[in-house]
Structure 1
Amino acid sequence: MLLRRAFVEGRRIQARHPLRPRSSIHSRTTSLAAQPTQQHVNKPRESTTLQVSDRAFIKEIEHFHAVVSAGGKTPRPAFNRLRGCVGMLSDASSLLQEPSKSLLEEALLRLCRSPYPHDCTIVKDGLLMSAQLLGVAAADYAADVFNRLVDKSDVRSALDWLWVTGKMSGIDVGYALVLAPWHRLLEVGAGNRNEYLIANALTKMERLKVSPTVDTGRIIVAAMFRSASLDKARPPPSYDTMKHLINLFHSAGIPYDEHTLSVIKEGYTDADEEIGRRVELLYTSTLVRPGTGLSEARMHEALASTAANGTRKQVLRQLRRFQEVGLRPSEDTLFSVLGGDAKIDDYEYWCKTLGVSGGSKAAAKVMQNVLAAGGSSGPRLVEFYQHERNKGYTVSSYMLHFAIQALLSSALAAPSERAVETALVLYRDFIREDDAASPDKDDHSRRKHPEPRTYQLLLRTLTRGYDKKYLPVAISLMDDMRRFDVDLDPQTTASVIILLMRACPTPAESFEAYRLLGKPPDQSDKPNLDEEGYNAILDTFCKLKTWPDGIPSTKHFFQIVTDMRKHSLELNHKAYTIIIGHLARLATAASSAPSVLETGDVRTQIAKSIARVHNHLNVNSGFTPDVALWNQLMDAYQRAGCFTEACRIWQKLFATRTFNNVSVSIIIDACAFNQAYDMAVRVFTGLVDSGYPMNVRNWNTLLECLCRLDRIDEAMKVLCLEMMGREDGIEPDKESIRILLKFAAKHGQEPEVRSKIKRFLPKLYYSLQSEMGWQS
Structure 2
Amino acid sequence: MSFRTGLLRATGSSSRRPVVANPSSLRIFSRSNSHVGGLTRDAIKKRSRIQSYLDTLKIASQRSEVEVINQYYPALAWEASQLATSSPSSSSSPESSHAISEDQLEAILETLAASGRPVDLSHIDGILADMSDIFGTPPTADTHTAIIRGLIRCQNAQTVVRWFENMPDKPGGIRPTLEHYHLLLEASPEFASFKNMRSIVQNMYKTGCLPDNETYKILLQALWQLSPQPPPPPHIMPILQEMKKNGLPYDLTILNFLANAYHTRGLTRWADEIKSHYYQTFTSHISPSQTAENIWTPRFSQTVCKEGLSAGLALYPEFLEAGGKPSFRIFNALLRHSCTLDDMKRISQELGMKPTQTQWAMMIAEAAKRGFLGTGLSLYQKARNAGISPSAPMVGVLIRALFKHNSVPYTEKVIDKALELYDDLKHAVPEDSPISTDPRVHNEGPDTDIYTRLLHGLSLAENGRRYSRAISSLLEDIKIRGMEVYSMNASIAVMRIRLAGGEEEAFREYQRRRNTLDQTGYERVLDAFCRLSVQGGVRIPSLSRYFNIVKDMRQAGYEVTPQIYTILLRHMGKLGTRTKQDPEYISLTPRLIAATRRIHDLITLDATISPEPYLWNQMMDTYQRLNCFGDAYRVWDQMFISKRFDHVSVSIIFDACGYAKATHLLEQIMTRLRRENFELNLHNWNTYIECLCRMERLSAAVKVLCLDMTGDILPTAETVRIVRSFANKPGLDEEIMNRIQQYQPELYQSLEMEKAKSL
Normalising to structure 2: TM-score of the pair? 0.48
Query: Greater RCO between the two (CA within 8 Å, min separation 6)?
Result: 2
Asked which structure has the greater CA Rg, the reply is: 1
Normalising to structure 1: TM-score of the pair? 0.47
